[in-house]
Chain A
Amino acid sequence: MPMADTLSPSSPPRQKSIVEAHGISKQFGDLEVLTDIDFSLAPSEVVCVIGPSGSGKSTLLRCLAFLEPYDHGSVYIDGQLLGYEDRNGKRVRTSEKRVDDVRAPVGMVFQHFHLWPHRTALENVTEALRLVNGLSRQEADTEGMAMLEQVGLSDRAGHFPESLSGGQKQRVAIARALAMKPRVMFFDEPTSALDPELVGEVLDVMKKLAADGMTMVIVTHEMGFAANVANRVIFMDQGRVVESGPPATLFRQPKSERLQQFLNTWRERNID
């Protein structure tokens, strides 16, 4: 494992971006998965990340949330360095508590939902409200019901995850993340594990969030959704950002050969 280097020499991040990354890279053993990635996200911006499988999209999102520690570079959330601090000129990992504090504005939704199976839909949403925000059961339930309402699932409040459809599970997972009042939401292929007929209900919830001004980073293979909802699309390949820009430009006039190839493959798959 390469040592994390000293703090990025770049000046403190311009305010206004909620998430900002400078030159981050990540290796798993000998495999370089992310190479020198720069990224910034303005309030209310919706960014879709596309790219072939294995290109590092999930790893990027996980590094931005410090679920994976990045090796080099820096990630700032609301202007605060995430995961590391400078101690006597050396860069060291911060405490778990500090990581929690810095990334508190970030909510995350996973491909495989990761609901807690021993908790009902409502309890999945209220758990952190009670444990982290210290709400009483009653306060948390009221808040939790409002969140379930927002994703159209108030009638499933008492159901355990095992009795929900994939689309319902994912919507509960979104409600669970929203309950903590995040300023930015990360989605890692939120519809990839769903039966095709259930994709729409999840995308609808996400569209509504975008319309309400939520800042979002979405790794997705839903090109239609990206074209309609994203302000910016990032195309990744082999751990690098190859191209990025407004969806209209990126999808209609791809500059790089790799993006052209990627889009052609996608079209072929989606026509038959």
Chain B
Amino acid sequence: MLEILLNHYPVLLEGLATTLVVSLSAIALGLVLGVLLAFGLTSRHGLVRWPCGLYRSFWRGTPILLQLLLVYYLLPEVGIEIAPISAAILTLTLNTAAFQSEIFRSGISHIPAGQIEAARMAGISSWQTRRRIIMPQVFRLTLPPLTNEIITILKNSSLISVIAVTELMRVSEQIASRTFQPLETYLAAALLYLAVNLVLALLSAHLERRMTGGLATD
């Protein structure tokens, strides 16, 4: 396994870089979309709420592999030519947005209504209330499930090899078929996934420790 790592590290690292670029872009874009969807899911207006609910159901309720293929084949049908890597980022974004929206929705529902009423009575607009009162607390509350989701997306990004994006998984397959050492190769790949996720988990734990000040829900 070490031998594989040593002999093939340039391509492996390139694959890993692609994995990271795709996953982290999707997570960041998905966060923005996820927050907006969560606002939609907690809206007073049914007309805003139910399309957001529908969106969430679709992207949480279908396999990610299917979503990848759908986006990849659907876009050219409607005249949009996009590179496989963009299709991959798009799909993972749309997917993680659904999961993140549910995480944020649950977080928002844990903020006591009285805090929001206090903001309203101070004249703070509902948009500012979301930005300054609700979301800072929600990000702290939801850090553990959010970390899980990030790790899930990193792992799920291995599926994008089906639309010919040469990320870590695909690179490993190529090395395995060239060297006839599939076991060693896949173990090396596993090690790389684990290393990245370990760093993420540590980062999250560190953040969580730093943010404990001022988080009583009272």
Q: Using CB atoms and an 8 Å cutoff, list the residues of chain A in contact with chain B.
A: 65, 67, 96-97, 100, 103-104, 106-108, 110, 112-120, 127-128, 131-132, 160-162, 169, 173, 176-177, 179-180
Tell me which residues across on chain A come within 8 A of B112, comparing CB atoms: 112, 114
Contacts of A100 in B (CB 8 A): 120, 123, 125
Cross-chain contact B214 with A117 (CB below 8 angstroms) = yes
Task: Choose one: A108, A127, A161; the contact of B121 (CB below 8 Å).
Answer: A108
| Contacting pair B118 A110 (CB below 8 A) | yes
In the complex, B13 has a CB within 8 A of chain A: no
Q: Provide the residues of chain B in CB contact with A96, threshold 8 Å.
A: 125-126
CB–CB A114/B117 < 8 A = yes
* Chain B: minimal CB distance from A101 (Å): 8
Assembled-state Cα–Cα distance A264/B213 (Å): 46
Q: Are B118 and A117 in contact (CB under 8 A)?
A: no
Query: Which residues of the partner chain A approach B118 to less than 8 Å between Cβ atoms?
Result: 108, 110, 114-116, 173, 176
Please list 6 pairs of residues, one from A and one from B, whose beta carbons are closer than 8 Å in the complex, sorted by A's number.
Answer: A67-B121, A107-B121, A108-B121, A116-B118, A131-B125, A160-B213
Are A132 and B215 neighbours in the complex by a CB distance under 8 Å? no
Q: In the complex, identify which listed stretch (B25-33, B132-140, B191-199) lies at the interface while the others stay far away.
A: B132-140
Residues in B whose Cβ lies below 8 Å from that of A117? 137, 214-218
Contacts of B132 in A (CB 8 A): 127, 131
Tell me the bound Cα distance from A108 to B116 in angstroms.
12
- In the bound complex, what is the Cα–Cα distance between A128 and B217 (angstroms)? 20
* Residues in B88-124 with C-beta less than 8 Å from chain A: 112, 114-115, 117-124
Q: Known interface pairs A110-B114, A118-B137. Does A128 touch B214 (Cβ–Cβ under 8 Å)?
A: no
User: B residues within 8 A CB of A67?
Assistant: 117, 120-121
Task: Assess whether B128 is interfacial by the CB under 8 Å rule.
Answer: yes
List the A side residues contacting B137 at CB < 8 Å.
116-118
Known: A117-B216, A118-B215, A160-B214. A112 touches B125 (CB 8 A): no
Interfacial chain B residues near A65, Cβ < 8 Å: 121
> Within the complex, which residue of A162, A177, A180 is in contact with B218, where a contact is CB–CB below 8 Å?
A162
- A-B CB proximity, top 4 nearest: A114-B114, A128-B122, A160-B214, A162-B216
Q: B120, B122, B216: which contacts A161 (Cβ < 8 A)? A: B216
Q: CA–CA, A180 to B217, complex, Å?
A: 24
A128 contacts across to B, CB distance below 8 A: 119, 122-124
A114 neighbours in B (Cβ, 8 Å): 112, 114-115, 117-118
Q: Give the docked Cα–Cα distance between A169 and B128 (Å).
A: 23
A104 contact set on B, CB distance < 8 A? 123
Let me know if A177 and B214 touch, CB within 8 A: no
CB proximity of A164 to chain B, nearest CB, Å: 10
Q: Residue on A with the closest CB to B134?
A: A116
Pick from B123, B140, B217: contact of A132, CB below 8 A. B123
| Closest chain B residue to A103, Cβ basis | B121
State which of A106, A107, A115, A131 has its C-beta within 8 Å of the C-beta of B124: A131
What does the 1/0 interface line of B177-218 toward A look like (CB < 8 Å)?
A: 000000000000000000000000000000000000111111
Most A CB within 10 A of own CB, among B117, B122, B132, B216: B122
Q: A120 CA to B213 CA in the complex, in Å?
A: 10
Q: Are A118 and B214 in contact (CB under 8 A)?
A: yes
* B residues less than 8 Å from A173 (CB atoms): 118
By a CB distance below 8 angstroms, the chain A residues around B136 are: 118
Closest Cβ of chain A: how far from B209's Cβ, in Å? 16
Q: Closest CB of chain B to A28's CB: distance in Å? A: 15
A180–B214 contact, CB under 8 A?
no
Q: How far is the CA of A155 from the CA of B59 in the complex (A)?
A: 51
Determine the chain B residues whose CB is within 8 A of the CB of A120 once the complex forms. 214
* Contact residues in A for B140 (Cβ distance below 8 Å): 118
For A114, A161, A169, which residue has the most chain B Cβ atoms within 10 angstroms?
A: A114
Q: Point out the residues of chain B lying under 8 angstroms from A131, CB to CB.
A: 124-125, 128, 132
Chain B residues contacting A176 (CB-CB under 8 Å) are 118, 122
With a cutoff of 8 Å between Cβ atoms, the chain B residues found around residue A180 in the complex are 122-123
In the bound complex, what is the Cα–Cα distance between A160 and B117 (angstroms)? 20
CB pair A132 B218 closer than 8 Å = no
- Chain B residues with Cβ under 8 A from A162's Cβ? 214-216, 218
Q: Are the CB atoms of B124 and A132 closer together than 8 Å?
A: yes
Given contacts A110-B118, A116-B119, A116-B133, 13 further A-B contacts (CB under 8 A): A112-B112, A114-B117, A117-B214, A127-B119, A127-B122, A127-B132, A127-B133, A131-B132, A161-B214, A162-B215, A169-B218, A176-B122, A180-B123
